[in-house]
Amino acid sequence: MPHETSTTLTLKRSKKKRLESLKGKRVGIRSLRNSTHKREVKSAMNSLSELRELLDDKDLDRIAAPSKKFRKEFKLG
């Protein structure tokens, strides 16, 4: 059985109360990871949405062209 370690997190009281209300007095790391992952995905989707508003198809083509060229010409050895 692998050795299990403990981690102490420093949280603002308001965050701790919120977590306790969601999961009781003990909060599992899996729950925290899940929450963090969801927040990161939401942030990425918001950023992508903002980029879509700022860039048109010509901009996207100019950005993609060098990457496509690199992938096409890249060879090992």
3, part of any domain:
no
pTM here?
Answer: 0.41
- For 16-51, the pLDDT digits (tens) are 888 777 765 555 677 778 888 899 999 999 998 998
- Asked if the structure places residue 40 within a domain, the reply is yes
Residue 51 lies in a domain: yes
Taking the CA of residue 73 as centre, how many other CA atoms within 13 Å lie in the half-sphere pointing to its CB? 6
> By 3-state DSSP, what share of the chain in percent is helix, strand and coil, each rounded to 5?
70, 0, 30
Counted domains in the chain? 1
- Does residue 61 sit within a domain? yes
How many C-beta atoms lie closer than 10 Å to residue 55's C-beta?
13
Print the domain residue range for 26. Answer: 15-73
**pLDDT tens-digit map of 48-73:** 899 889 988 899 889 899 999 998 99
| Residue recorded with tokens 């010509």 | 58
Residue 54 lies in a domain: yes
